């Protein structure tokens, strides 16, 4: 199975992911090998998404500064660490076929007064 991660930046506000892909056997785990970083000084959140064969993006969770918020339906399967102000590493426990897909990270500014789409 292949787990893919897009690379590159949309503009000069840089958000990057590494590696571009990894190939795993069923039952193997990805432990802090999927990395996301950004260089946007005012941003304090990193979001993680998964895109499967239906092409819909599913939110896996996010970091606000160093506070982790994992979606209920992926707790125990997905985890991440780091700091929303700079970077994060994603881990996936005991991968199966349903874990195949493209994983995205995005960075954003947390504000109750200011709403906008995260930078992909």
Q: In Å, what is the CA distance from 57 to each residue of 27, 65, 104, 114?
A: 24, 23, 9, 23
Q: Which residue has the tokens 């893919």?
A: 4
For residue 86, tell me if it sits in a domain. Answer: yes
Q: Give whole-number Cα distances, 115 to 33, 69, 98, 108, in Å.
A: 31, 19, 32, 10
Q: Is residue 25 in some structural domain?
A: yes
Q: What angle do CA 32, 40, 111 make, to 5 degrees?
A: 95
CATH of the domain at 24: 2.60.40.10
Q: What is the pLDDT of residues 56-67, one digit of tens each?
A: 899 999 999 999
- Provide the number of structural domains found in the chain: 1
pLDDT digits (tens, 9 = 90+) for 15-42: 888 888 888 889 999 887 899 999 999 9
């Amino acid at each position: 199975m292949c787990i893919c991660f897009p690379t590159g930046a949309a503009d000069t506000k840089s958000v990057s992911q590494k590696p571009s892909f990894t190939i795993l056997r069923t039952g193997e785990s990805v432990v802090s090998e999927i990395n996301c970083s950004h260089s946007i000084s005012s941003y304090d959140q990193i979001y993680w998404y998964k895109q499967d064969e239906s092409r819909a993006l599913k939110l896996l969770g996010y970091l606000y500064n160093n506070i982790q918020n994992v979606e209920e339906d992926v707790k125990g399967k997905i985890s991440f660490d780091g700091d929303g102000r700079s970077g994060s590493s994603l881990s996936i426990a005991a991968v199966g076929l349903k874990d195949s897909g493209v994983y995205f990270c995005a960075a954003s500014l947390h504000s109750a007064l200011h709403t906008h789409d995260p930078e992909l």
